Amino acid sequence: MEDAGKPRKRSVCPEFRPEFRVPRLFPSSSPSPESAEFPVSPSFPGFTAIIVLMNEIAIERRGKKIASTLVPSEGLIGGDEQDMGLLRKMFEHAREYISSFSWCQGVLDSYFGGGVGGIFAVYFFHIQPSRSDVDPWIWIVVGDIPPAYLPLSDCESPPEVFETYIRGMGRWVEFARKAQARGEVPKDVPPIDLPATPEWAERINQRLRGLTLAVKPFFEKESGPLN
């Protein structure tokens, strides 16, 4: 695994450390629509390269379609002046977070997917990846919780990002409750830069409960994945 980049100033919680295939922080149990539609086969010379190119084009088009339904980050509008200020700070945090990884050569565009200022927000970034196995469209979660990234091939809408984040962190809580700090983190548990102890498990679990009560209703109003 490549170096995740230079360390940067942390906010409320330390950030995630990607420790397996970038950028699947929350592994999906099913293949992405692109991989299912265009299976790669080594049977014919050059066929794999063509399929990879077709997948890249499909993901790029999908990302642009989803982005067209979101608000550009520069056009962020909060419920009030204070909320807008918090959301803008969270956007800067999200931009710094994704830019800190070596597989991100630069940010091309960014969009606001929803959230509550200072608590939880989802942003959608169009990046210039340095590796072919990295999606050019990445969701970023920031707020009063450990930040995370999820590729477009895993989530196609802000509500799906929210649910995936909650489920992934819930698995970490269960892992940490067993006091397995010295054990290997299972692949379906997102590795975060926090001690995997029962004490930290309860702290994170309380925050997850708060998100479910205070933030989930904002994402339930959103529509599902695009067809």
The whole-chain average pLDDT of the chain stands at 78
Instruction: Examine residue 38 and state whether it is found in any structural domain, yes or no.
Output: no
Q: φ and ψ at 51, to 5 degrees?
A: -65, -40
C-alpha to C-alpha distance for 149 and 30, rounded to whole angstroms = 18
- Which residues make beta-bridge pairs with 128? 106
Residues 6+ apart with CB under 8 A from 115: 87, 90, 121, 122, 143, 215, 218
Give a yes or no: residue 2 inside a domain.
no
pLDDT of 69 reads 93
Domain with 100, as residue range(s), is: 43-220
Q: Is residue 185 part of a domain?
A: yes
Residue 225 belongs to a domain = no
Can you give the pTM of this predicted structure?
0.74
Task: Give the model's confidence band at 75: pLDDT under 50 very low, under 70 low, under 90 confident, else very high.
Answer: confident
Query: Smallest Cα–Cα separation from 25: which of 201, 208, 205, 192?
Result: 192
Helix (H, G, I), strand (E, B) or coil at 141: strand
Alpha carbons within 13 A on the beta-carbon side of 213: 6
| pLDDT tier, 194 (very low <50, low <70, confident <90, very high otherwise) | confident
Q: Is residue 27 over pLDDT 70?
A: no
**Can you give the pLDDT at residue 47?**
58
Domain annotation covers residue 86: yes
161 assigned to some structural domain: yes
Strand pairing of 104-116 and 148-151? unpaired
In-domain check, residue 14: no
Mapping DSSP to helix (H, G, I), strand (E, B) and coil, where does residue 164 land?
A: helix
- Confidence band, pLDDT 50/70/90 cuts, at residue 10: very low
- Residue 166 belongs to some domain of the structure: yes
Classify strands 120-129 and 148-151 as parallel, antiparallel or unpaired. unpaired
Domain count along the chain: 1
Instruction: Provide the 10 A C-beta neighbour count for residue 70.
Output: 18
